[in-house]
Amino acid sequence: MGPLSRSKTLKYGVPMLLLIVGGSFGLREFTQVRYDVQKVKRKIDPGLEAQLSKNKDKITVESEYQKLQERNFDDWVNIRGPRPWEDSKTYQEQLRKT
């Protein structure tokens, strides 16, 4: 048993330092896997992507606004959902009749 084996720095400090540095590299690898998986999930089939982009051009804010202007909201009634203790079917039917 030499003086190096009795040193607290070698006994506790070096393993702690290795744990911190090794943990840092380990966390980097795990987070990189996470981002790689997200990148793979975002990829879409090129045919489907082309079809989606083609349909996206047809819908505009102006066309949706025109649809809303054509609707008649004067006779619209707000019907709330039932409470947990109320029967949903009978309550909604009762509100629709009034």
pLDDT in tens, 58-72: 778 888 899 888 988
Q: Would you say residue 56 has pLDDT above 80?
A: no
For residues 13 and 8, what is the distance between their CA atoms, to the nearest angstrom?
A: 7
Q: Please report, in angstroms and rounded to a whole number, the separation of the first and last CA atoms in the chain.
A: 94
Q: Letter for the amino acid at 8?
A: K
pTM of the model: 0.36
